[in-house]
Amino acid sequence: MKAARALVSAEEDRRSMAAEIRAGLTASPKWLPCHLLYDARGSELFEAITELPEYYLTRTELALLEQHSAEIAKRAGAPRSVVELGAGTGSKTRTILEAVIAEHGLSDVTSAESRELDGPVYYPIDVSRTALEVAERALARPGLEIRPLVGQYGDWLPLLKDLPGPRLLLFIGSSIGNYQPHEAESLLSLVRRGMSKEDSFLLGADLRKDEPRLLAAYDDAAGVTAEFSKNVLHRINREFNADFDLDGFRHLALWNPDASRMELYLESLRDQVATIRALPLRVSFRTGDRIHTENSYKLTLADQRRLLAAAGLTITASFVSPDPSYALHLARVT
Ligand code: AVJ
């Protein structure tokens, strides 16, 4: 494959990861940024999560996309650039890309003189280079050029305006749920600042629902989510020469109704000390001490609409699945 483009070197990446681990594990309460969950193994485990019977999000969103991608591609005006934030392995994007390519085919027939036969370019953005390699292989098809961009959204979003328009920006898979409301609003504002009048933004996000359903989705019977959570310790062991005992922690998923979010933790099962030699840092835990590893916000439809509006985005169409509830919003710059 073509080398994915990256703005930040592996060395800088490692330095910022070291700083994050130090900051999080010396804080009280302890925490780790959730993007650390997604190394190659973490991305693989998340992929397995999306296939669990309890994890309704991915298949519900996929059904919505399958139902509405033709309309979305049409409303987006046969975009020439499709930019996806947090593309992962791209498995959720196939239908929308096919619909965009089909829209291009249609416009070729109707605009006889402009003979614009070159298809759309897909720019998947992700922190995981390996996930992007999988995406590139899985989505390769005639009429589609793929240019993977490795890095955080903030690295690439300011460069959006350089890409040929109209652009369709995708932020699907409910990844926005990882952000606290004020962070989500600044991220969406960053997206909006990169957009022109003719561009569209598609947001896919889970909705607030009954607690048992949420608890099951984030603590599955087969234990895949637990393995996914613990993988972050495994990663720190491997990459920073640490000695976390994975059997000394358990995965814990809690619903926080006031913050309207699922909270994921690793809870220490005993008093213990872990040493992270490459930092270097020693971290002690009492029984029951937790590391907060992830939040997954579940907003109501009204709150999702308010969030988009606050970021300067106007919804042009919403597609909502009733049960389990899930929403896709198509929006333009206000
Ligand atoms: C990738 C952020 C959408 O919050 O549902 C799933 C991550 N963590 N199970 C989610 C996740 C544990 C997931 N997102």
Q: Is 204 in the pocket of ligand 1 (CB under 6 A)?
A: no
Q: What is the pLDDT of residues 197-246, one digit of tens each?
A: 999 999 999 999 999 999 999 999 999 999 999 999 999 999 999 999 99
Band of pLDDT at residue 121, cut at 50, 70 and 90: very high
314, 333 in Cβ contact below 8 A?
yes
What proportion of the chain, given as a percentage, has pLDDT over 90? 79
- Mean pLDDT across the stretch 181-204? 96
Determine which residue's CA is closest to atom 4 belonging to ligand 1.
296
pLDDT of 1 strictly over 60:
no
Kindly report the average pLDDT of the chain as a whole number: 92
Q: Treating both helix axes as pointing N-terminal to C-terminal, what angle do 56-75 and 94-110 enclose, rounded to 10 degrees? A: 10
Q: How many Å apart are CA 302 and CA 147, to the nearest integer?
A: 35
314, 192 in Cβ contact below 8 A?
no
| pTM to 2 decimal places | 0.92
Of residues 315 and 133, more confidence is placed in 315
Centre of ligand 1 to C-alpha 237, Å, is: 23
pLDDT of 30 strictly over 50:
yes
Determine which residue's CA is closest to atom 13 belonging to ligand 1.
175
pLDDT at site 257? 98
pLDDT of 111 strictly over 60:
no
Point out the least confidently predicted range of 15-24, 36-45, 259-268, 301-310: 36-45
Q: How many Å apart are CA 190 and CA 86, to the nearest integer?
A: 15
pLDDT of 117 strictly over 60:
no
Point out the least confidently predicted range of 1-10, 70-79, 200-209, 305-314: 1-10
Q: Is 175 in the pocket of ligand 1 (CB under 6 A)?
A: yes
pLDDT at site 176? 96
pLDDT of 126 strictly over 90:
no
pLDDT at site 106? 58
* CA-closest candidate to residue 34, choices 284, 205, 170, 229: 229
Q: What is the pLDDT of residues 236-269, one digit of tens each?
A: 999 999 999 999 999 999 999 999 999 999 999 9
- Mean pLDDT across the stretch 145-164? 90
Q: Is 42 in the pocket of ligand 1 (CB under 6 A)?
A: no
pLDDT of 114 strictly over 70:
no
- Helix or strand or coil: residue 76? coil
DSSP state of 173: T
Mutate to test the pocket of ligand 1, among 56, 179, 231, 296 (most ligand atoms within 8 A of CB): 296
- Helix or strand or coil: residue 30? strand
pLDDT of 323 strictly over 50:
yes
- Mean pLDDT across the stretch 302-320? 98
pLDDT of 103 strictly over 50:
yes
What proportion of the chain, given as a percentage, has pLDDT over 70? 94
Centre of ligand 1 to C-alpha 3, Å, is: 28
- Helix or strand or coil: residue 249? strand
Backbone φ, ψ for residue 295 (5° rounding)? -120, 145
Centre of ligand 1 to C-alpha 233, Å, is: 17
Q: How many Å apart are CA 130 and CA 60, to the nearest integer?
A: 26
